[in-house]
Amino acid sequence: MAIIGFIGLGIMGRPMAKNLIKAGYKLAVYDKFAKFDDLVSLGAEGAASNKEVASKSDIIITMLPNSPHVKDAILGAGGVIEGLKSGTIVVDMSSIAPAASQEVGAALAAKNASFLDAPVSGGEPKAIDGTLAIMAGGDKEVFEKVKPILEKMGSSVVLAGDIGAGNVTKLANQIIVALNLAALSEAFVLSTKAGVDPQAVFDAIKGGLAGSTAMNAKIPMILDGNFKPGFRIELHIKDLQNALDTAHNLAVPIPLTASVMETLQALKVEGLSANDHSAIVRFYEKMAKIEVRK
């Protein structure tokens, strides 16, 4: 069985790595900023650098915050590219700019290594359950080789196109999620201010056309006043910035995304950037002077 290197053991990467260990894979793990003793205790082999992970692995997975972190871990000093074995497959599961994925892919190809961008959706709960939605970009033959591994972390694993297509798909996902959360916030603040029980509104509409996975996941959290992060506001800001940058480069106007971005920026100014992105409701609550709670 191939040895899998896993770099990036944060709120998402850690449970994803644990699911691979549970599935019987041998892992070499490293994170520049986080301890990983718990994974070593489960059987993973700890490494001292990204380069060392690469030297020990046949397939390498990265799960990092943004484009600069991925480029540093893979292409930087002491990075994956310095320890690569010929024929290695690198799968970046971070949510980054599509152009950055293409840059990394080209650099790895020059070293006779293959690359997939394969960002995920579902947040921490689905990372823990192993039911993430995984959207990949890259060569179909390479994708088929790693698909069984990806299926240990996700319930949906789809090849969207060439390198970069995975992250374009993820940007589309993040735009839809952000706008959905804003719409939910407006609707439930309005309902509550009108004197209608928000739980009753949720029960009444969740099975209809307005129902969504976002509603089912986030309205119960809002009603409980629970904004513990499954996906932090600051990360959604990062994703929407990548969406805006990509859209501007392609001459595609996305005005609704820009509007929600400013709402998230306002929450950041309020010191709420580490809250779950469902806390977008707090922007509307503040303006309407009411809380959507049970």
Question: Tell me, what's the pLDDT at 35?
Answer: 94
Closest CA to 95 of 119, 69, 75, 61: 119
Give the pLDDT mean for 108-113. Answer: 98
pLDDT tens readout for residues 51-109: 999 999 999 999 999 999 999 999 999 999 999 999 999 999 999 999 999 999 999 99
Residue 230 binned pLDDT confidence (cut-offs 50, 70, 90): confident
Q: How far apart are CA 198 and CA 214, in angstroms?
A: 16
Q: Which two structure tokens, joined as six digits, stand for 141?
A: 């033959």
Q: Assess whether pLDDT exceeds 90 at residue 216.
A: yes
Q: What is the pLDDT of residue 135?
A: 98
Q: Which structural domains are found in the chain, ordered by start? A: 3-163 (3.40.50.720), 168-288 (1.10.1040.10)
- Examine the pLDDT at 1 and tell me if it is beyond 90: no
Q: How confident is the model at residue 239 (pLDDT cuts 50, 70, 90)?
A: very high
Give the tens place of pLDDT for each residue, 19-42.
999 999 999 999 999 999 999 999
**pLDDT at position 98:** 97
**Arithmetic mean of pLDDT over the chain:** 97
Rounded to two decimals, what is the model's pTM? 0.93
Which pLDDT score is estimated for 15? 98
CA 181 to chain centre: 16
Following DSSP, what letter does each residue of the chain receive, concatenated? --EEEEE--STTHHHHHHHHHHTT-EEEEE-SSS--HHHHHTTPEE-SSHHHHHHH-SEEEE--SSHHHHHHHHHSTT-HHHHPPTT-EEEE-S---HHHHHHHHHHHHTTT-EEEE--EESHHHHHHHT-EEEEEES-HHHHHHHHHHHTTTEEEEEEEESTTHHHHHHHHHHHHHHHHHHHHHHHHHHHHHTT--HHHHHHHHTTSTT--HHHHHHHHHHHHT----SSBHHHHHHHHHHHHHHHHHTT---HHHHHHHHHHHHHHHTT-TTSBGGGGHHHHHHHHT-----
Active-site option among 170, 238, 286, 294: 170
The question of whether 35 is a catalytic residue gets the answer no
